[in-house]
Amino acid sequence: MSQLNIKIQDKSYPQGAKKAPKQVIKDLKITLGKDEFVCLVGPSGCGKTTLLNILAGLDNQYTGSVKLTPEQLSPKVGYVFQNPRLLPWRTVLENLQLASNAKLETLDFLLESMGLGAEKESFPEHLSLGMSRRISIIRAFATDPDLLLMDEPFVSLDPPTARQVRQLLVDLWRKRPHKVLYVTHDLREAISLADRLIFLDSQPMSVISEVVVNIPREQRMDEATIEQFKQQLFVDYPEITKLL
């Protein structure tokens, strides 16, 4: 069974010649099991995006390792950025084909799953933000990655659209399971999506609590159940209150 081990001893940013470097991450250890959906919850500016950039291979200036075991390989990553980052001059289908080698049937299946079957020849500028977000999710899945990174992908969507896209994401993930590391500061969203929650403190980033979400998937759309779980969390883990 392949598992992902993330060990980051140090990630610092230089602050000019006179100041000492600012340490953003210190001795962070996270393990992801096969097809596990993990949500990272932490305050704004705690270094979540920095962590995702390290995992995506966009930032190599750190001490530590990110390896799949037992293969000891660097994971192939699919990244859903906060902003969809679609190439505006390429059609939806071209955007997907550029990022992945998936067959046309696979891309058609993914587009249909996300309700975008009719938009594959459209240019991104002609689509709504919600549609663009869905395409960036499809792009990440289409690469068939070892690890899916999602950086608050539903931020700035109106609540009904966010709920709809979140459900589509869960449906797609259940059809095509992958390891997911999902960053959010919305605890309700995290509870509705994750198998496990990891709470992060800032300056420097470190794990303060880990919680398994044992609500059956079928009940995750029920607001009352989510709210009840959330309230219980505050009782069982009082240290997370300051993060939210």
What is the crossing angle of helices 129-142 and 92-99, to 10°? 30
Helix, coil or strand: residue 28: strand
Quote the least distance from Cβ 187 to other proteins, whole Å. Answer: 28
Which of 25, 2, 79, 42 shows the shortest CA–CA distance to 244? 42
Name the residue nearer to other proteins (CB basis): 76 or 188.
76
Secondary structure (DSSP) of 141-185: HHT--SEEEEESTTTTS-HHHHHHHHHHHHHHHHHS--EEEEEES
Name the residue nearer to other proteins (CB basis): 54 or 243.
54
Name the residue nearer to other proteins (CB basis): 14 or 57.
57
Binding site for other proteins (CB under 8 A): 53, 56-58, 77-79, 81, 83, 85, 87-90, 98-100, 123-126, 139, 143
Name the residue nearer to other proteins (CB basis): 100 or 192.
100
Which of 21, 18, 65, 43 shows the shortest CA–CA distance to 241? 43
- Count the Cβ atoms, other than its own, within 10 Å of residue 66: 20
DSSP for residue 205: B
Name the residue nearer to other proteins (CB basis): 88 or 238.
88
Say how far apart CA 189 and CA 108 lie, in whole Å.
Answer: 28
What is the crossing angle of helices 104-113 and 92-99, to 10°? 120
Quote the least distance from Cβ 167 to other proteins, whole Å. Answer: 26
Name the residue nearer to other proteins (CB basis): 88 or 115.
88
Quote the least distance from Cβ 90 to other proteins, whole Å. Answer: 6
